[in-house]
Amino acid sequence: MKFKVLLGCVVLALAVSACRRKPAPTPVSVEPLPPQPAAKLADGTPIAGNEAEMALSNASVLTMMLQEFVAKNGRLPNNVQELSAITTFGAVPRPPAGYRFEIDGKKKAVIAVKQ
């Protein structure tokens, strides 16, 4: 009998504590991101707007094509146009106006250089 009374009190205490009003969650403040530094070419020249995005994006695609070319052929290509043999990533992208792509043999990467 004492056990049932004790069990009933415990259940009642749990029910009362679970049904109490809970405090509202504190709002989360969102900090704005700091501005990103301007994109730069391999020679340190800053490029702005869509040219920057296009040059960096195309150079990264060409770098992936270069890595695949080296894996298949065991050598660096003579020029960027030789990468057209790699069809995994599609056609060789064009450089933005006023720039050309070059192969950096030391880094085994394609870089955008101002003409």
Q: Is residue 58 part of a domain?
A: yes
Nearest CA among 66, 43, 54 for reference residue 93: 54
Read off the tokens for 25: 């969650």
Q: Give the model's confidence band at 59: pLDDT under 50 very low, under 70 low, under 90 confident, else very high.
A: confident
For the segment 42-51, the average pLDDT, to the nearest whole number, is 61
Cβ(86)–Cβ(68) under 8 Å? yes
Q: Is residue 83 part of a domain?
A: yes
Q: Is residue 14 part of a domain?
A: no
State the total domains in the chain.
1
Q: Is residue 54 part of a domain?
A: yes
Most confident of 14-18, 39-43, 98-102: 98-102
Read off the tokens for 50: 């869509």
Q: Is residue 88 part of a domain?
A: yes
pTM attached to this predicted model: 0.55
Asked if the model's pLDDT at residue 33 lies above 60, the reply is: yes
Asked if the model's pLDDT at residue 48 lies above 60, the reply is: no
* Domain enclosing residue 68, as ranges: 49-114
Q: Is residue 36 part of a domain?
A: no
The residues with which 111 forms a beta bridge, in sequence order, are: 102
For every residue of 15-34, DSSP letters joined together read HHHHSSPPPPPPPPP-PPPP
Q: Is residue 71 part of a domain?
A: yes
